[in-house]
Amino acid sequence: MPKESSWRVRQLLSRRLELSLRYLFAVLLAVMLVSACSTLQDSWEGTKEMAQGVGEFVNPDPEVDFNAYEFENPNQEKLARLMTPVDGPLKSLIRYVSDRDSYPDEKWIDLLFLRYPWIHSLIVVNEEGWMLDRLPDAPLKRITEPLVYEANWRETFLQTVVDYPELGPELYIGTPFFKDADFAGLILVSVDPRTLLDFCPKPEELVMLQPGGAAWSMNRDRELAPLEALPWDEILEDDVLGTVDADGQCYTWLVRYVGSDPYVYATPCSDAEARDSGWLPF
């Protein structure tokens, strides 16, 4: 074979080998890229799943269970709907009054009557019971019996007394005030319990009762004596809610404490057979 032809053959083989190596390198590179992409994809998916898990733990999607506070007892549901609009304003007044531990100033008094326009009067007395201040000066209801408050005022922050003048009952909520860490007297705020019942969507269906005292209702035809006559002291020793029978009438009831003094909300049962004394969810 001529030398020129032999050189051309070798050059052709060399070029083919170079092309083959380039093709092989391209294939290997493609395989490596695919493998790397697959690995990166798997890694990203794992990281993404882990991040989602952490995100759900740190910032979970809110879920509202509308059945969590569902009433199983229709009597309890009825009482809750009736008493909540009454109990809320009363508790708000109690918090406002009991937070004061010094002689009430003009700003505090103005805010008291602004927030709670349904209260009747404010009275401030010294440690001996002598009246220091009274608003209004001539209230519609006069006190018929001495308001007796007896307590260790370093341990008792709220106490109530109910007076029964001709114009109707008056609930006096008393809290102590101090001067230089010494007991200096009482702040008394009064309200007619029947005024509170006006906040009820069906006031004729709700009864408010002072154990050992009277029961109050906006329903003039309702016979309250059997409910008042129940042994509430014994009932409240073991229970804070339940059902009672008052001369053939079933009542669902719940007790609220103003300081250490109990007051009972009650309503005629809507279903006399449903007497489960389970908890009220509020």
The pLDDT value recorded for residue 159 is: 94
Q: How far apart are CA 51 and CA 173, in angstroms?
A: 56
Spatial separation of the C-alpha atoms in residues 166 and 99, rounded to whole Å:
32
What distance in Å separates the CA atoms of residue 163 and residue 153, rounded to the nearest whole number? 21
Nearest alpha-carbon partner for 190 in 160, 214, 217, 170: 170
CA-closest candidate to residue 158, choices 70, 85, 94: 94
The SS3 call for residue 140 is coil
Q: Which CA distances in Å does 163 have to 96, 171, 244?
A: 22, 7, 27
Write the CA distances from 105 to 111, 112, 240, integer angstroms: 10, 11, 37
CA 126/CA 184 separation, integer angstroms: 6
Three-class DSSP category at 166 = coil
pLDDT at position 9 is: 46
Q: For 169-189, what is each residue's pLDDT tens digit? A: 999 999 999 999 899 999 999
Q: What is the pLDDT of residue 124?
A: 97
Spans of the chain below 70 pLDDT: 1-71, 272, 274-282
Q: Got the DSSP string for 206-234?
A: -EEE-TTS-EEES-TT---HHHHTS-HHH
Summarize pLDDT for 261-277 with one digit per residue, the tens: 999 999 999 876 765 54
**Domain map of the chain by residue range?**
1-63, 74-268
Strand-pair category, 261-268 with 159-163: unpaired
Alpha-carbon distance of 268 to 250, in angstroms, equals: 6
Residue-level pLDDT at 14: 57
Alpha-helical runs (H) found in 99-172: 106-115
- What is the SS3 assignment for 258-282? ECCEEEEEEEECCCCCCCCCCCCCC
Task: Estimate the crossing angle of helix 74-98 against helix 106-115, to 10 degrees.
Answer: 160
Beta strands of the chain (E only): which ranges?
A: 121-126, 131-135, 159-163, 170-179, 182-191, 207-209, 215-217, 241-246, 249-258, 261-268
Domain 74-268, CATH: 3.30.450.20
Find the radius of gyration of the CA atoms of the chain. 39
